Amino acid sequence: MNLKQALNLAREHLSTLADVDYPGFEAEVLLRYAIGLDRAQLHLSLDRQLNPDEYAKFFEWVKRRLNGEPTAYILQHREFYGLDFYVDQRVLIPRPESELLVEEALKFIKTHQVTSIADIGTGSGALVVSLAVSLFSSSLRAPQPPEAVSINLQLFATDISPDALEVAKLNARKHTVETLITCLQGDLLDALPQPVDVIIANLPYVTTIDTSAMPSAKYEPVGALDGGADGLDQIRRLANQIKGKLNPGGLVLLEIGMGQGQTVSNYIRGILPEAKIEAIPDLSGIERVVKVSYQ
């Protein structure tokens, strides 16, 4: 069987899965990793025959995908904010919509005097590592403008799961920012040793009913998906901890699900009536981040 035939067969099988939006793309990604070719090389080699080992590996991966296992876990790889992250079943797979948290945090950091940032429920570390790389990686090679980033900036990454923190540390090492990030085990903001200037969090916000219907829930850590009856249990708990953990003039960025913006905003307004609160839409126009500016 040549590569083109293998791709067509895998695409045909993957198209039967409800959670696969682009079966051709997923088939191509699995094949590229199975045979060790980049996209350009693959498309220049479509007439090449798969050897027995390549055939076995590729179709074993296709079988795992057909059983519902996400491609990111099969490959132990996920791209996020232009970076390559290691992922396994100890952590939630980073989603593209979470990149909005990084973008909003960077906007604030580069226009305010920020000395400390905390990523709450860090999981794979995608958010905090992306921030660290964006703010510091180029400064390892050449100085940045003084206004770009504070040299005293502290980055904290918290998670209740020690297994998740191991993955976050691995990704911090992978991107050479491990000395910039302090990983702390604990429950939400309780793990922080001091108030901070910026809090970002992608906490569980899927309802229990919807979580049970997700094909990936069989593989992803349920505790990182299931937000309770209305999806907001952990977000409410964090909101109740903000006072005393956020410095005056600070910022909180919370990822939310579709239709949750008003409920979350109203809840936080009841706790922090002096705060400025707004819901920020993603590229699809869905309110994705609740932004809390603390006065």
Quickly count: other Cβ atoms within 10 Å of residue 138's Cβ.
13
pTM of the model: 0.90
Strand partners for 181 = 155
pLDDT at residue 150, as a whole number = 53
Which of 210-235 are b and which e, b meaning 16 or more Cβ less than 10 Å from the residue's Cβ?
A: ebeebebbebbbeebbbbbeebbbbb
Instruction: Assign domain 91-293 to a CATH class.
Output: alpha beta
Confidence bin at 148 (pLDDT 50/70/90): very low
| pLDDT of res. 151 | 57
For the sheet with 276-281, list strands across it. 181-185, 154-159, 116-120, 196-201, 246-255, 287-293, 276-281
Domain boundaries, the chain: 3-67, 91-293
177-199 tens-digit pLDDT: 999 999 999 999 999 999 999 99
Question: Which residue blocks in 36-118 are alpha helix, DSSP H?
Answer: 39-43, 52-66, 71-75, 99-109
Q: What span, in angstroms and rounded, lies between the C-alpha atoms of 89 and 163?
A: 10
What is the mean predicted confidence (pLDDT) over 118-143?
82
